[in-house]
Every structure is written in C-alpha cells, then in structure tokens.
C-alpha cells in the first residue's frame, strides 16, 4: 500500500510569504498568505511558516501523513549565492557602489537599500523557511519521513498558473520584479508538462520599472502601493517629458527586453529625480505621471506579448507573476494581442508560489494523472472560528444580533438596496489579494455618493481609489463592452454607455471597472445574494471591496471583523447566517 503523502508548499520571498497543502490525490486542502494570520500587510521579512500557525495547520489538515514533501519557491543555489556574497562582502561593496552612483538621485525615488537591503531580506527569508514546518512535523508526526525540494521562483509561478488554468496547452509568461536569474521566464505548457522556453538573464525588470513609476507618483512600492498608480492613472493625461524619459529606459528585443546602457539609464533616472526632488507634487502632477507610466508599461507589455506569441503560436496565454496584478493592462490583452484566451490565477504574485510548489511536486510524482484543477476555486483559506462566534453571541452584549439560517441572502440584499454598507463574511477566505465574495464589504452601486462614503468612512483611503463591480456572469455582455469572464477580478473592462448611469459607484472616471464575474458554480451563496439584489432593484451587480481598512490585510478572524465593524462606518456585519447591526 502506498504511503499517505502530503505536499507542502512554502512561498519564502521577503514579501507575500504563504503556505499551501495538497494531499496525495492532488486535492488542494489549504492555501493562504501569512499576512492574514499575523495581520501585517504583505508580511515583509517574516518567515512563511510561523511556528504556532504551522502546528495548527498540521493538526487540522495533515496530521495523519506518513510522508511529507516540503517544497520551496527559490532554488537552494540562489540562497548559497546570497550567503557567499554576504560572507565575502560583495553585497556591502555593491551597496557602496550604488551609493556612489545614486548620490545625487533622490532617496525618495531610489536608494541602495531598495536593491541591496532587499537581497539581505531575501536571504534571511529563504534561510528560515521550513524550520518550523520540519520541527513541527517531527514533534507531531514522529514516525513520518520528510523530503525537502527547492524549485526556481519562476517555475513555481508557472506551475500554479498552468495547473489551475482551464487549458490543456498554452504559453505561460511569468513577469515580476526578479527571480533567481531575471524578471521574465517563458514556458510551453502541454498536458501537465511545463517546459522552459526562455529565461531572461539580465538586470532589466518591468516589475522594478513599475516600482519606479510608483515612487515617481509619490507612493511607496515597498509597501505595495502599485494599486494606487492604476487607480490614479485615469485622472491624468500624457506628460511628454516623462513619456520620453521612461520610454528611453526600456527596449523590447524580440521576446525579451532590456534596460538601456547603465550610464544612460542612470542619467534618465537622474532627470526623473530632478523633476520630483524637493517638489511637493500636486495630485494632478501625480495623476499625469501615473497615466504616462501606465501607458509606457502597457505599450512595452503589448509589444512583448505579441513577440512571445510567435514562439509557439498558441492562442492560450497563461500569465503570472507580480506584473499580472496590473488589471488595467490585463483588460487590454485579448483586444491588442494575438491571443484568444487568457488565464491569470487569483494569486499571481509570490504568495501563489506556495501552491505552485506543492502542485509541481505532486505532478512530478504523478506525471500521468490528468489535472484536477480545471475549475479552480480561490476559496482555500481559513474559515471563521465557530467557537469565537458562539462566544460573541454569548458574551458580547450586542443586542441587535439576528439569525437567518434560511434567508440571509435575501435579508442582506434588502439592506444593501436600502443603502446599508455591509461587511460580508462567509466560509473560507479567498487565496490572493482580492475579496471575491467571502471577505467583502458590499454596497449599492446605484448611489452616486457611495464611492466617497466608503473611501472616507470605512476604507480611510484616497478618494481616487475605485471599487469593483461583482456581476452575475450572464449579465456581463449587457454591462461591459467586449465582455470577458473575469472570475478573480483580474482584469479591467469598459462599461457600456447605457450602463454607466445605472451603477455610478463602481464606474471609474474612465468608465472602466475591475469586475468579478460570479456564477453559481464559483460561489453559490454570493451568487444568490447578488441575484436577490437584482430581483429587488433590477441591477445584477453589487459594489465589492475587500473587508479591511487601508494598510491592513483582509480580516482573518471574528475579532478582526468586529474591530473593523466597530471602528468604521459599516452599518451591518454578516458572519455566516448571523446578522449584526449597530
């Protein structure tokens, strides 16, 4: 009899660490970013398998295993390279050299810490990853065997995207800040086989490039504020000076790209720095930079993807890596390239690599098995504690708590239609950065004032930040031009003119919306809620944003949900079938 196996994936990048667990039949049991349990946004520099959480996960999902395959999302050789460079002072020399080169460039735009300091963080996170999982397994499952495997960062990106895609074949493009060798990798995917076509081996990075754009706008890319650039860009216009400087820094060359000569690149960076140094940018200036930067990024990506298409002529594009979070560009891919079908997984950044590593190990052991993840569900995270919920009902003293075991969707839809802002918590949390109807704040999209109200009173963030429309899939073509199904809120499309006035709270200034397509199969309860809202209002969509405040991760526990509820302008909190009002 075969041993009972579990495949553990550990995403051990210095940002967005995560854990995933897959059983011996290839079923995904759990996947979640570390930021959720510790409630620190992006969990920078924090080990992925914090020991207390790790023990709880083993007890809940995989305590009965005989063999455990723990897979890591960076090659061991890369760790040795960083250790070697640190030991012999190469990293310190690199920092001194960069300090010299960047001495008259604003540290607000770029500093040696951004480059070298993150390498130190990366070394620490890879080195510490797995220590808690290995020791916890030896303690809780003493007779088990443990195997450790290391895969390249981009391969785990590709594995996660390919194995969860609806395609049997396609071309997979991974684009991010950096991997072990570069920022771009291309793979051919066919019947569970992932074969490398190309790995970029230079220092050019569109992820890093977009980080510079983020900094130019006055935002912090270390904190992951790239979202703000996408939200602000539609308010701006083309700035020819910035366009020329940014365009001069990156050149597409066939199916790859490069930064210009180092001296020329530094000179362009210096000019960009002079335009922003000691100058308090107005929001209008930042908007123009955002618009221009987003345009340059999109033009480069469009040219690059069309060139990559020629490598195998597959009409199926599988796209992952941090750059795949750029939903503004993603909505243009099918329109402006030769691809007919596009798949972007719900967690394309480094947190998704935990699941990629676990799945790659599984299919490495089971190469002839068909992929079982064609209808991939993102609802793989933790659920709310029933014990804590019971304690809330027993001890909180909150008077306005009602239980609706049969009609919670109808009751909640009525409250949303009446203008109430609702915290909506159901089942297991979404894996990835977007709330897809299980950890969401929901509101009426018909209200012109609703967008500002939520930004000001709940999210506590900038007024230019948009909200997503979660729409019943069958109504998509009625509301969006050239509608494409977007199950994971991964792409931005343009509303039809006749729809704009119907749902102004979810229409961005350029008439766009980063939509979520909702089906019965993907999330039955969320579908029923939106359908109930449709029956009451004639509108088949609701405003959806993540259940958090700016700077914090999405709520993880009953306590987190209550904290946001009682310290913000939320009117209603729904946890499973329980409805709480102030």
Residues 466 and 516 in one domain: yes
Task: Evaluate whether residue 179 is within a structural domain.
Answer: no
Q: Do 504 and 411 reside in the same domain of the chain?
A: yes
Which secondary-structure segment (H or E) carries 174?
A: strand 169-175
> Looking at the structure, do residues 138 and 223 belong to the same domain, yes or no?
no
Q: Give the span between the Cα atoms of 455 and 469, in whole angstroms.
A: 15
Q: Contact 347/356 with Cβ under 8 angstroms?
A: no
Rounded to two decimals, the pTM is: 0.96
β pairing state of 256-259 and 250-253: antiparallel
500, with CB counted inside 10 A (0-12, 13-18, 19+), is middle
Structure tokens of 380?
């793989």
Q: Are residues 218 and 97 in the same domain?
A: no
* Beta pairing class for 512-514 and 145-150: unpaired
- Domain check: are 400 and 540 in the same one? yes
**CATH of residue 227:** 3.30.420.40
Is 9 in the same domain as 149?
Answer: yes
Note down the domain range covering 518: 386-581
Return the pLDDT at 193.
Answer: 94
Looking at residue 243, its pLDDT comes to 97
pLDDT of residue 343: 98
Any domain includes 178: no
Q: Give per-residue burial for 234-262: e unless 16+ CB within 10 Å, then b.
A: bbbeebeebbebbeebbebeebbbebeee
Do the domain assignments include residue 268?
yes
Residue 511 sits in a domain whose CATH number is: 3.90.870.20
The conformation of residue 445, written as its DSSP 8-state character, comes to T
Are both 239 and 132 inside the same structural domain? no
Are residues 561 and 414 located together in one domain of the fold?
yes
Question: Among 26, 50, 55, 23, which Cα is nearest to 39's?
Answer: 50
- Here the tokens at position 530 are 């939106």
Query: What is the token pair recorded at 494?
Result: 């343009």
User: What's the pLDDT at 489?
Assistant: 98
Cα(424)–Cα(438) distance, integer angstroms: 7
Same domain, 275 and 323: yes
Q: Residue 193 domain-assigned?
A: no
Total number of domains constituting the chain:
3
416 in the same domain as 291: no
Query: Which tokens hold the place of 36?
Result: 């959720």
Q: Same structural domain for residues 436 and 557?
A: yes
Strand partners, 252: 257
The DSSP H or E segment spanning 269 is helix 262-276
Please tell me the distance from the alpha carbon of residue 242 to that of residue 146, in angstroms, as a whole number: 53
Residue 444: per-residue pLDDT: 98
**Contacts (Cβ under 8 Å, ≥6 apart) of 274:** none
Name residue, tokens 């991997």: 179
For residue 442, the model assigns a pLDDT of: 98
68 within some domain: yes
Same domain, 316 and 360: no
Query: Does 173 reside within a domain?
Result: no
Question: Under a CB-based contact definition with an 8 Å cutoff, are residues 360 and 169 in contact?
Answer: no
Give the helix ranges, DSSP H, for 331-435. Answer: 333-336, 353-365, 386-395, 408-417
Strands (E) in 43-92, as ranges, are 67-72
Q: Number of helices and strands (H, E) in the chain?
A: 23, 22
Does the residue 198 lie in any domain? no
Report pLDDT for 279: 57
Instruction: Return d(Cα 244, Cα 308) in angstroms, integer.
Output: 25
Averaged in consecutive runs of 10 residues, what is the pLDDT profile of the chain (582 residues)? 90 97 97 97 94 94 97 95 90 82 73 80 94 96 96 98 96 96 96 95 93 92 92 97 95 94 84 72 92 98 97 95 98 97 98 98 89 88 93 90 97 98 98 98 97 96 95 98 98 98 98 98 98 98 97 97 98 97 93
User: Does a structural domain hold residue 473?
Assistant: yes
């Amino acid at each position: 009899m075969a041993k009972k196996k579990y495949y553990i994936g550990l995403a051990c990048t210095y940002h967005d660490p995560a854990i995933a667990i897959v059983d011996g039949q290839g079923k995904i049991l759990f996947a979640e970013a570390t930021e959720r349990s510790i409630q620190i946004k992006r969990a920078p520099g924090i080990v992925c398998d914090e020991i207390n959480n790790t023990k709880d996960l083993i007890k809940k999902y995989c305590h009965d295993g005989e063999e455990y395959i723990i897979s890591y999302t960076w090659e061991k050789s890369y760790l040795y390279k960083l250790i070697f460079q640190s030991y012999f002072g190469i990293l310190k020399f690199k920092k001194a050299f960069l300090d010299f080169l960047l001495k008259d460039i604003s540290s607000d735009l770029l500093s040696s810490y951004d480059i070298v300091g993150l390498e130190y963080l990366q070394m620490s996170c890879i080195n510490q990853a797995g220590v808690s999982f290995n020791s916890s397994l030896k303690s809780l499952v003493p007779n088990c065997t443990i195997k450790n495997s290391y895969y390249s960062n981009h391969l785990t990106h590709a594995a996660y995207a390919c194995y969860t895609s609806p395609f049997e074949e396609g071309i997979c493009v991974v684009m991010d800040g950096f991997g072990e060798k570069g920022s771009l990798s291309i793979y051919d995917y066919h019947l569970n086989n992932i074969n490398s076509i190309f790995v970029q081996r230079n220092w050019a990075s569109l992820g890093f490039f977009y980080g510079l754009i983020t900094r130019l706008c006055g935002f912090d890319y270390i904190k992951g504020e790239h979202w703000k650039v996408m939200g602000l860009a539609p308010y701006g216009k083309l700035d020819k000076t910035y366009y020329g400087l940014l365009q001069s820094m990156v050149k597409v060359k066939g199916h790859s790209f490069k930064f210009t000569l180092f001296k020329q690149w530094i000179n362009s960076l210096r000019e960009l720095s002079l335009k922003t140094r000691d100058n308090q940018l107005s929001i209008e200036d930042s908007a123009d930079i955002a618009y221009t930067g987003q345009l340059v990024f999109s033009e480069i990506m469009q040219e690059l993807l069309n060139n990559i298409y020629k490598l195998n002529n597959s009409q199926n594009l599988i796209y992952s890596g941090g750059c795949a979070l750029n939903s503004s560009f993603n909505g243009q891919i099918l329109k402006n390239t030769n691809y007919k079908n596009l798949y972007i997984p719900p967690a394309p950044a480094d947190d998704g690599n935990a699941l990629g590593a676990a799945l790659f190990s599984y299919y490495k052991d089971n190469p002839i098995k068909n992929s079982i993840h064609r209808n991939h569900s993102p609802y793989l995270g933790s659920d709310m504690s029933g014990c804590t919920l019971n304690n809330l009902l027993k001890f909180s003293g909150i008077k306005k708590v009602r239980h609706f075991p049969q009609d919670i969707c109808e009751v909640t839809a009525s409250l949303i239609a009446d203008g109430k802002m609702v915290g909506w918590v159901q089942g297991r949390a979404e894996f990835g950065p977007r709330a897809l109807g299980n950890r969401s704040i929901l509101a009426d999209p018909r209200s012109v004032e609703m967008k500002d109200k939520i930004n000001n009173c709940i999210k506590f963030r900038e007024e230019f930040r948009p909200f997503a429309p979660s729409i019943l899939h069958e109504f998509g073509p009625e509301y969006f031009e050239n509608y494409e199904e977007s199950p994971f809120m991964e792409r931005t499309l343009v509303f039809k003119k006749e729809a704009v006035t119907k749902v102004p709270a979810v229409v961005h200034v350029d008439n766009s919306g980063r939509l979520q397509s909702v089906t019965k199969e993907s999330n039955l309860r969320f579908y029923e809620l939106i359908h109930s809202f449709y029956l009451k209002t004639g509108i088949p969509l609701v405003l959806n944003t993540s259940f958090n405040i700016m700077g914090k991760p999405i709520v993880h526990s009953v306590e987190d949900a209550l904290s946001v509820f009682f310290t913000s302008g939320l009117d209603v909190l729904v946890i499973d079938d329980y409805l709480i009002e102030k």
